[in-house]
Amino acid sequence: MKVKPAERTASVQEYYFSQKLRQIDQMRKAGADVINLGIGSPDQPPSENTVVRLAGEAAKPTGHGYQSYNGIPALRKAFSEWYKKYFNVDLDPESEILPLMGSKEGIMHISMAFVNPGDEVLIPNPGYPTYSSVTKLVGGIIRNYNLDENKGWTPDFKEIEKSDLSKVKLMWINYPNMPTGAKGSLKLYEEIVGFGLKHNILICNDNPYSFILNNEYHSILSAAGAKEIALELNSLSKSHNMAGWRIGMVAGNHDYIVSILKVKSNMDSGMFRAMQEAAVEALNNPPSWYEKVNSVYLKRRVIVEEIMDLLKCSFDKKQSGLFVWGRLPEEVTSCEDFVEEILTKGNVFITPGFIFGSNGERYIRISLCADEDKLKEARFRINEKIASSR
């Protein structure tokens, strides 16, 4: 290579799913019918009125120019009303909400806005890999904190406080939790906010799964004192089946939002207006729409739980979200080898838990984002090729 890449690129690797999708593509080109149960990309469509609104707005000749960096007023208002209706949180649409091109992008914006090289960041183990990779890219230092099945996959603050926290700037949390499916609660958020206030640590809650197989809607911003020390990311990707649209938001104290906007406004030029208008439509979906989507996921989860049983994995039937998270049987010595065997022998891809951190090594994750016929076929293959030989 004549021109060397920046040193920061050496701190991260290609995203696991990017590599795996390439392998699956190669297998398919070779003739294999691979069923992908690894990624949480909703396969159900957005509400019909959302798509109709998109088409209508896109047809307008005046809606194709650059848009405001902080989103159209109607979208900020819709997010505010959505939060009030479902989370009972008051947000000023003028100063406490910033629409984003997806919440994953928001993780980068927040990290760039608050983390200096050498600052420490508390990251859950297991947890979403992007928290770690973005921290590395901005020069932060990763401080993993343990999530344990026996403690309900919630932080043990007594354990965390045994170490020096003086250099910790930011803490990532994620409830309803991915990958474990553990639900949040107001009590948990109050404890986390209290921890943040005590140590002057910015708490960032990544909250895209509240509406998937869950009817207990919680936001960290509902906890007393939260706006002093907390931000919340949310997204239409999972809740409204709009993953490819890249529409999210961050909410919190105005001063924090201003700092994030400084970064965001130098990285993009605003979202296509038609998508913003359609997002307003989506945020006004009635509760019955969410119920209809979840009725499909409930039927699928029954089949996925049967797959977990075939693989002799234990799991919590009360978990929420787009996945089922299961603990491997003791006789399985390698999570990675186990998943690779299922892929090569059964042409079924499921996610190994180790990609979420060392505390995920004994687990696997299966997505609900495949129709019942594919899930039944996956169950058949696993029974024939894997379970029957064990």
Tens digits of per-residue pLDDT, 111-167? 999 999 999 999 999 999 999 999 999 999 999 999 999 999 999 999 999 999 999
Same domain, residue pair 267 and 327? no
CA–CA dist 187, 341 (Å, integer): 42
Q: ∠379-333-180 over CA atoms, to 5°?
A: 60
Residue 265 lies in a domain: yes
Identify the pLDDT of residue 108: 97
Q: Centre a 10 Å sphere on the Cβ of residue 297 and count the other Cβ atoms it contains.
A: 18
Starting from the edge strand earliest in sequence, which strands make up the sheet with 323-327, in order? 314-315, 323-327, 363-367, 351-352
Instruction: Tell me, yes or no, whether 52 and 159 share the same domain.
Output: yes
pTM of the model: 0.95
Q: Which amino acid is at 360?
A: G
Q: How far apart are CA 21 and CA 25, in angstroms?
A: 6
Residue 245 and residue 323 share a domain: no
CA distance 112 to 135: 9
For residues 265 and 308, state if they share a domain. Answer: no
Q: Are 240 and 213 in contact (CB under 8 A)?
A: no
Regions of the chain short of the pLDDT cut 70:
1, 388-390
CATH classification at residue 20: 3.90.1150.10
Answer whether residue 1 is part of any domain: no
61 and 11 in one domain? no
Amino acid at position 284, single letter: N
In a shared domain, residues 63 and 18:
no
Same domain, 258 and 301: no
- Tell me, yes or no, whether 317 and 360 share the same domain: yes
Which of 263, 283, 303 is the C-terminal boundary of a domain?
A: 283
Could you give phi then psi for residue 260, rounded to 5 degrees? -70, -40
Neighbouring residues of 148: CB distance < 8 A, sequence distance ≥ 6 = 156, 359
- Within this chain, do residues 357 and 235 fall inside the same structural domain, yes or no? no
Identify whether 129 is part of a domain. yes
* Residue 66 within a domain: yes
And the tokens for 332?
Answer: 């399985």
Q: Are 155 and 124 in contact (CB under 8 A)?
A: yes
Whole domain around residue 274: which residue ranges? 48-283
DSSP 275-339: HHHHHHHHHT--HHHHHHHHHHHHHHHHHHHHHHHHTT-EE-TT--SSEEEEEPPTT---HHHHH
Of 251, 283, 315, which one is at a domain's C-terminal end? 283
In DSSP notation, 215-271 reads: -----GGGSTTHHHHEEEEEEHHHHTT-GGG--EEEEE-HHHHHHHHHHHTTT----
Q: List the structure tokens of 86.
A: 């479902």
Q: Round to whole Å and give the CA distance between 267 and 146.
A: 33
pLDDT of residue 291: 98
Place of tokens 């070779």: 30
368 and 322 Cβ atoms separated by less than 8 Å: yes
Among 254, 283, 312, give the residue marking a domain's end. 283
Whether 231 and 336 map to the same domain: the answer is no
Tokens of 275: 């998508």
* Predicted local distance difference test score (pLDDT) of residue 390: 62
Structure tokens belonging to residue 181: 């499916």
SS3 category, 189: helix
39 and 13, same domain (yes or no): yes
Q: 308 and 379 share a domain?
A: yes
Distance between CA atoms of residues 198 and 200, nearest Å? 6
Domain count, the chain: 2
- For residue 205, the SS3 value is strand
Residue 144 class from Cβ within 10 Å (0-12 exposed, 13-18 middle, 19+ buried)? middle
Where residue 276 falls (left for φ over 0; alpha for ψ -120 to 50; beta otherwise) is alpha
Residue 2 within any structural domain of the chain:
no
Helix (H, G, I), strand (E, B) or coil at 100: strand
CATH of the domain at 261: 3.40.640.10
100, β-bridge pairs:
248
Backbone phi and psi for residue 12, each to the nearest 5 degrees, phi listed first: -130, 160
Q: Give the Cβ contact number of residue 156 at 10 Å.
A: 13
Cα–chain center distance at 45: 19
363-367/351-352 β-pairing: antiparallel
